[in-house]
Amino acid sequence: MAEAVGILEVFGLATAFVAGDAGCKAANVRLEVFDKNKPANADSLPVPLLVCIKFRGSVTDVTAAVEAGMEVANRMTGVVQHYVIPNPEEGTEKMLKISALDKD
């Protein structure tokens, strides 16, 4: 059975690091590579960069990690979106490896 994935999108890279750390400390999860997005309305956002954190593990652990990450992120710059996928299908698994952080 595939591992669950928790997706947490936050404002800013610093918030992503702190939220990812909090999630990993709260539950038995590991992180996939972060991803970034600079939307067209970036100048109107609290921080002009959105970062997607991806936690992997059991559904229970991933849920706990996302909740812990959300708590920290909401105290900092905020949460854009969050979701837990209990059993990602093969195509979704491939997409989890994609990251724009190493691109300009």
Q: Is residue 14 part of a domain?
A: yes
Q: Is residue 41 part of a domain?
A: yes
CATH number, domain at 73? Answer: 3.30.70.1710
Lowest-pLDDT range of 13-17, 34-38, 57-61, 62-66: 34-38
Q: Is residue 104 part of a domain?
A: no
Residue 15 has pLDDT above 80, yes or no: yes
Count of domains for the chain: 1
Three-class DSSP category at 83: strand
Give how far Cα 35 sits from Cα of 1, 60, 87, 89, 100, Å: 25, 23, 21, 19, 6
Q: What is the mean pLDDT of residues 53-58?
A: 96
State the chain's mean pLDDT as an integer.
91
* pLDDT for res 103: 65
Q: Is residue 79 part of a domain?
A: yes
Q: Is residue 101 part of a domain?
A: no
Domain containing residue 26: 4-95
Q: Is residue 56 part of a domain?
A: yes
CB half-sphere exposure, 42, CA atoms < 13 A: 10
Q: What is the mean pLDDT of residues 25-45?
A: 89
Q: Is residue 27 part of a domain?
A: yes
Q: Is residue 63 part of a domain?
A: yes
pLDDT tens string 57-91: 999 999 999 999 999 999 999 999 999 999 999 88
